[in-house]
């Protein structure tokens, strides 16, 4: 069930429809910038590196901001649900 502030349809999501954040664990240095910028999309692992939240909503402006702000370009926006720990082929 979407929250009130989440888009409910692909039309409302626009070009972000179906995309989720993904963190490449081999690149993440644990700066925490994405956690502060988009806490609905990221969570910290035991190694202090960021991961996509399993319950992350579709990418929104905060996810795009976090992607742009990551100092090591470890974040990508990919189609489908988050897959923790597995780099997508298109990053
Ligand atoms: S901003 Fe980038 S380097 Fe920093 S915790 Fe997030 S994914 Fe890792």
Q: Is 68 within the bounds of a domain?
A: yes
Angstrom distances, CA of residue 40 to CA of 14, 36, 66, 86, 89: 19, 10, 11, 20, 24
CATH of the domain at 67: 3.30.70.20
Q: What is the pLDDT of residue 18?
A: 79
Q: Which atom of ligand 1 is nearest to the CA of 30?
A: 5
Structure tokens at 71: 């100092």
Q: What is the pLDDT of residue 84?
A: 55
Q: Is 20 within the bounds of a domain?
A: no
Distance 13 CA to ligand 1 centre (A): 24
Residues 6+ apart with CB under 8 A from 26: 87
Query: How many folded domains does the chain comprise?
Result: 1
Cα–Cα distance for residue pair 66/41, rounded to 1 Å:
9
Average pLDDT per run of 10 along the chain, which is 91 residues long? 49 64 96 98 96 93 97 92 53 43
Q: Which atom of ligand 1 is nearest to the CA of 33?
A: 1
What residues make up the domain containing 60? Answer: 30-79
């Amino acid at each position: 069930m979407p929250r009130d502030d989440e888009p409910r349809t692909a039309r409302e999501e626009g070009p972000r429809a179906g995309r989720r954040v993904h963190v490449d664990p081999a690149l993440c240095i644990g700066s925490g910038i994405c956690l502060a910028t988009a806490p609905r999309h990221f969570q910290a692992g035991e190694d202090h590196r960021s991961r996509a939240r399993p319950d992350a909503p579709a990418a929104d402006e905060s996810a795009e901001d976090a992607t742009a702000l990551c100092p090591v370009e470890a974040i990508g926006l990919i189609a489908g649900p988050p897959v923790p720990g597995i780099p997508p082929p298109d990053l």
